[in-house]
Every structure is written in structure tokens, then in C-alpha cells.
């Protein structure tokens, strides 16, 4: 395989991730609206820690985990920021 083939594959994955990101942020917006309506805080530390633990077990790759942990925490931060904008 050539580097161009790998890049095409990465581009396809990025497109799929973008669609999933849009879908996730749409749901996150609804959660933010629900929290606002019910006077709940945006940040739920227990929920985030629970998610991290489950994802770590599902990933089951100690070498890859630190990178995925940064990735998922960044998504948490973006979701919270998006919820604050509502």
C-alpha cells in the first residue's frame, strides 16, 4: 500500500468521525437544554469518571489508552462548552 492509499483511508475515517461528532454534539445540546430546564449542573464528575473507566475497559489496550483518554476528555470539554452556549 502507498502513503496515498493510507491518506485516503484516513480521510474516510475523518469523514465518519465528523458525522459522529455532529450527531454527538446534537445530543449534547439536548442534554444541555434538559440540564438547564431542570437546574442541573453542566459538569458531572462522577459520570465522566464512570465513562472513562468503561471506555478504558472496552478499549483494552494499555498502550493506546493514554491517547484515547486525552481524546475523550477533549470531547467532554467540547460538549460542556457547547452546552454552556445554550
Residues 6+ apart with CB under 8 A from 36: 86
Write down the pLDDT at residue 86: 67
- Report the Cα 50 to chain-centroid distance in Å: 14
pLDDT in tens, 26-80: 999 999 999 999 999 999 999 999 999 999 999 999 999 999 999 999 999 999 9
Task: Please answer whether residues 35 and 42 qualify as being in contact, where contact means their C-beta atoms are separated by less than 8 angstroms.
Answer: yes
pTM: 0.89
CA–CA separation, 49 and 36 (whole Å): 22
Please name the residue that has the C-alpha cell 445554550.
86
Is the domain 3-84 a CATH 1.20.59.10 member? yes
CA–CA separation, 84 and 80 (whole Å): 6
Amino acid at each position: 500500500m502507498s502513503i496515498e492509499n493510507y491518506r485516503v483511508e484516513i480521510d474516510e475515517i475523518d469523514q465518519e468521525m465528523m458525522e459522529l461528532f455532529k450527531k454527538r454534539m446534537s445530543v449534547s445540546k439536548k442534554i444541555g437544554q434538559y440540564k438547564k430546564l431542570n437546574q442541573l449542573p453542566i459538569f458531572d464528575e462522577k459520570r465522566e469518571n464512570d465513562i472513562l473507566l468503561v471506555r478504558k475497559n472496552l478499549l483494552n489496550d494499555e498502550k493506546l489508552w493514554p491517547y484515547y483518554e486525552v481524546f475523550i476528555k477533549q470531547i467532554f470539554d467540547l460538549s460542556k462548552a457547547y452546552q454552556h452556549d445554550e
